[in-house]
Structure 1
Amino acid sequence: MNSLGVIETRGLVAAIQAVDAACKAAGVTCIGYRKVGSGLVTVCFDGEISAVYTAIERGIAVASATDHQANHW
């Protein structure tokens, strides 16, 4: 069963770092990104439920460690 993961960051660099870490931490696939506005970037990826959960945690940790605002859904 597949799940959708969404990470939103402030800035494209933080989004790239977050999705890179997420994809390396678990078997997820990046399915796209969108520049929302006001510097916000949303990245979407999919995979197995447990892999998406692990990927979100890792992506948020990396983005937050670089002093960028990051949220997830």
Structure 2
Amino acid sequence: MPQAVGVIQTLGFPPILAAADAMVKGGRVTLVYFDLAERSEFVVAIRGPISEVRPAVEAGLKAAESCHGGNVVSHYIVPNPPENVVAVLPIAYTAKVERFRS
């Protein structure tokens, strides 16, 4: 099944928490990455089937923007990322997140 990666970056922690919550509830996706980007910006990445990542990211964007003070800095969806991208960037299914895959 074709996989995709969805990423949302926000200013501040509450919007990224709201986005992550909405994304994992909005589709059969797995949260694979979270980190502090820069200047109080946070980033979260999910993976799953393309048909599940798109609505999950949309739900995450809506949740982040509706959060008090929510400011989405950036977002992007990568359908079918090549193996070399998955190998280099921190978006692989790791043992830590594998138990949460549906």
Per-residue displacement from partner, 1:20-65 (whole Å, max 9, x unpaired)?
A: 1110010000001110111100101100001100011000000101
Query: TM-score under structure 1 normalisation?
Result: 0.93
The structure whose RCO (Cα within 8 Å, separation 6+) is larger is 1
Q: Provide runs of 4+ in structure 1 moved above 6 Å.
A: none
Gapped runs of 5+ residues in structure 1? none
Q: Across the two proteins, how many residue pairs are aligned to each other? A: 73
Q: Report what 1:64 is aligned to.
A: 65
Question: Where do residues 29-48 of structure 1 align in structure 2 (5 Å cutoff)?
Answer: 29-48=30-49
AA aligned opposite 1:11: G
Query: TM-score under structure 2 normalisation?
Result: 0.68
Question: Normalized per residue, which structure has more strand?
Answer: 1
Local SS of the residue matching 1:30: strand
Local SS of the residue matching 1:68: coil
Larger Rg: 2
RMSD between aligned alpha carbons?
0.9
Local SS of the residue matching 1:32: strand
Gapped runs of 5+ residues in structure 2? 77-102
Q: Could you tell me the percent identity over the aligned residues?
A: 29
Local SS of the residue matching 2:47: strand
